[in-house]
Amino acid sequence: MNITIEQLKRQLNIESDWVEDDAYLQQLLEVSIQASENYLGADALTGYTNTTTPISIEQAVLMIASHFYVTRTPVSFAKGQSVPFTYEFLLNPYKDFVVE
């Protein structure tokens, strides 16, 4: 998966020439990619390349990275609810479901 800091900055409406958080944004991208791969399952992304990864998976990664950037604490000060048709909606079609 080849998602750039520039793409994440566009998602967050951050000016491209503002570079103070670039290292942190890169870390968030890496964490979000790893979390998405863990969610999908070990073999779910097998066969995709940097140019063939479905856009919905890339969008899910950008969404979760943006969430981590905006919400920097594990505690919610409001009643937290899942937004329908977002992260899981984008990733579930690619999930490697295991039947035991």
Map tokens 């329908």 to a residue. Answer: 84
What are the domain boundaries of the chain?
5-94
What tens-digit pLDDT sequence spans the chain (100 residues)? 889 999 999 999 999 999 999 999 999 999 999 889 888 887 888 888 888 999 999 999 999 999 889 887 766 666 666 655 577 777 888 887 666 6
CATH architecture of 5-94: Orthogonal Bundle (1.10)
DSSP track, 24-58 = HHHHHHHHHHHHHHHHH-TTTTTT--TTTS-HHHH
